[in-house]
Chains A and B, each alone.
Chain A
Amino acid sequence: MTRLVASNVSKQYGAVRALTDGNIEIEGGRVTALLGANGSGKSTLGKIITGLVRPDSGELTLDGERVTIRSPKDARRLGITAVYQELSLVPHMSVAHNIWLGQEPMRRGGIDQKEMRERSGELLELFSASFSTRVTPTMRVSDLTPGERQIIEILKAMAWRPRILILDEATASLDGRQVERLFELVAQWREEGMGLAFVSHRMEEIARVADRAVVLRNGDTVGEVDVATTSEAQLVQMMTGGATAPHTTRQRAASGEKLLEVEGLSSGRVRDINLSVAPGELVGIGGLQGQGQASLLLALFGAEPYRGTIRIAGKRVNLSTPRRAMREGVAYVPGDRGAEGLLPVRSILENLQLPSWHRYGLLLRQGKAQADAMRAVDELNIKIGDIEDPVRTLSGGNAQKVVIGKWLLRKPRVLLLNDPTKGIDVGAKAEFYALLERLRDAGTAILFNSSDDEELLALCQKVIVLQDGQLRAVLEGEALTHENLVAASMGTAANGSAGRSADSGGRP
């Protein structure tokens, strides 16, 4: 039987230790689930096995022999392939060409189109019952639904005839019937001796399909258990490291009024979200990464089309562009500074004032703009040389302060934060938390998405948890514990008490 073992692997990115002591064993004829909360290192461990990331230390053995996997190509040669959620398909190419990309059947110096189509047809046959319309080898991938594309991705991995297959969130965009079919096939492949690793944010799927579960926490493998004999609550406990005391927050007397009210909001990645934030309230958004958190915040900032009702201070608003949202007093602080937050080559002054220039007249009163910007620099304690220096000369923490500063200058009523502390140092984080508390106490309504669970627990009075674009739970008071947070993000209940569930508890 095939056996891939990773032992004591570690990986450091800059100052961040993503994985300290990762261990996993994937054996033929078994499905091994990889479990862990945000930042536990499970995706790093998965990427090391498939050659996407090279470990700093540790060793990999395949069937008892030590192997080095430098790239996904190396991994494929050893019989290891992976299916990821982020699709690697070429949209304008046909299904057959995508499936056989890089290993096209050849005949007389050219691609054997007929052979390729036939073999694609055979692979498609595996899922044929789960397609709502017929998918043929000659169809273009861009004409397929997301679920169908995900299946093509799986078939593409299968075309390499792997001995070890890693399914990383491969079910996320599949519909119920397609998931069922995939699980039937997984069972069949397991019987045939294939070794499977399975990563999912749905506990229910793990319970159904996995034999063993490897649990990671804070970069370490903390245990491997038999799924059939372990309760979901026990798994959650392993992921969080045991009981944590209920979280206590410095709660402001909650006034009845609500500043931000959202009803039945659906956008790109989220469905039917209801939530409300009072002035002076800091509400967290939790869950595993990529469950629609960014989509929700972008919709609330008018940067993504949405359906549903948004009220600000009781008034129904139509946030069709970020400009409109901005005029209603909404601000959005992105975590991805390079892509969404900053103009690296422009000056600190221009970055700070970008949303506000129109306030300084048609012929700008530069002196006043500069004085106002300097006040933000002082208030946020941003370490700069000259306000005319380009922002790219600043460190990560100071650059992130500039992103926040440009909104503070507008004194927002509603502040949306999308994982703002990613990649900034501890000192800057502490300053940032203090700032958030100051803003909250001044009456700002804050909605705070974070991939760092500790941060959510430390700062928020209330945390809403998203899974698959839906609001799974609202945790507050006694119920706001790490266990409940992790349990809710996996769609299960820790010790049977995941706070108020969104399905039964009505509107938060």
Chain B
Amino acid sequence: MTAINRVRRVIVSPTVIALLLSVVLFLIGGVIQPDFLNAAQALNIVRLAAFLGIIAAGQTLVIISGGEGIDLSAGAVVTLGAILTFMIGAGQDSNIPLALAAVLGAGLLVGVVNGLGIIFLRIPPLVMTLGMTGVIQGTILAMTQGAIPGRTPPGLAGFINGRFLGLPGVIYLWLALGIIMWLLLERTPYGKQLFAVGVNRRTARLSGVNVPLVVIATYALSGMLAAFGGFVLLGFTQRVFLDLGGSYLFPSIAAVVVGGTVLAGGRGSYTGTMAGALVLTMVESLLRAMRLHEAYQMITFGVILVLLLSIYGRQRRNQ
């Protein structure tokens, strides 16, 4: 009985459904455009999904934490992370550790401020993180005066894009993050308390959970992970602009939700988000394969995001 239950739980899990969905989308791509269906294309999609997946990691934690939790500052923090890496890295591999430390520190700072505002000033997460977006963008402008000096360290670009045993480096990075995130959510006291806080904060508090600490730590982690996403993304784009991260914000939320993490909080997984990132990247690639005009690609992708969010948002509400 028990074993069957567990198997059934895995099969009907949102992660598996999302993975199947991305395979189906891939096959549909093959029907539309026969040369879409090959291993190189599949690998390329997984590689692109890795960037979205890494950026969506922090968002997963924040959405699980409930209380209308959402991190709308993630896009701006991605940009900030990329720009800091670009400026501090300045084309020198020896600067990478310093750049990474600065990136993580900046992300941490943003996240802690978000968390403090949400917990102690009781500002709704939507408002707090949206306001933070403006603050970050303004800071970047003031810092750079529009012209951003610097260069991507070649070692970073080499690792992210280079192939190791046939796979791009970013995929290894993504898999490692996947393992860390699984451990964090399923095998640490923090993870268990995060789910509890997401389901019902009063119950969590009455079970001895330090709710403010968990929430602030979650926004702090989200800031750090988004900034790290910017660091990784720079290795891919090797150039920076003010709206670099912005285009990842909405897809990152969609990836979390398609992966079965409930918008109301308290339930979800990062493996689901990984599968969700695959689905969304697949949709984007499919639209590109259909050779639509770029404007129509963007419109269609936007409509699909809204559809996915409304379908999944309506399903499986808490309790």
Contacts and interface: CB of A to CB of B under 8 A. Distances in A.
Contacts of B266: 343, 345-346
B2 A385 contact: yes
Given A346-B195, A363-B183, A386 B203 contact: no
Contacts of A388: 5-6, 9
Range of interface residues on B (Cβ < 8 Å): 20 to 34
Interface string B176-217: 000000010001110011011001101111111110000000
A350 B199 CA distance: 12
Secondary structure dominating the interface of B: helix
A448 interface: no
A339 B196 contact: no
Interface string A282-306: 0000000000000000000101000
Range of interface residues on A (Cβ < 8 Å): 20 to 34
B124 to A, nearest CB: 18
A439 B6 CA distance: 35
B206 A332 contact: yes
A301 B206 contact: yes
B208 A322 contact: yes
B318 interface: yes
Contact of B207 (A364, A385, A406): A406
Nearest to A392: B319
A358 interface: yes
Nearest to B192: A357
Interface of A: 301, 303, 321-323, 326, 332, 334, 338-346, 350, 353-355, 357-358, 360, 362-364, 366, 385-386, 388-389, 392, 406
A323 B210 contact: yes
A449 to B, nearest CB: 15
Contacts of A363: 183, 187-188
B318 to A, nearest CB: 6
Given A350-B195, A363-B183, A343 B203 contact: yes
A360 B192 CA distance: 12
A357 B202 CA distance: 18
B198 to A, nearest CB: 9
Contact of B192 (A339, A350, A385): A350
8 contacts: A322-B205, A322-B206, A322-B207, A339-B200, A345-B266, A362-B189, A385-B1, A386-B5
A355 B318 contact: no
B95 to A, nearest CB: 32
Contact of B318 (A339, A345, A350, A364): A345
B202 A340 contact: yes
Nearest to B3: A386
Contacts of A326: 208
Nearest to B266: A345
B2 A350 contact: no
Contacts of B205: 303, 321-322
A354 B192 contact: yes
B267 interface: yes
A304 to B, nearest CB: 11
B117 to A, nearest CB: 22
A326 to B, nearest CB: 4
Sort A-B residue pairs by CB-CB distance and give the 6 closest, nearest first: A357-B189, A343-B199, A326-B208, A354-B207, A355-B208, A323-B208
A385 B5 contact: yes
B206 A334 contact: yes
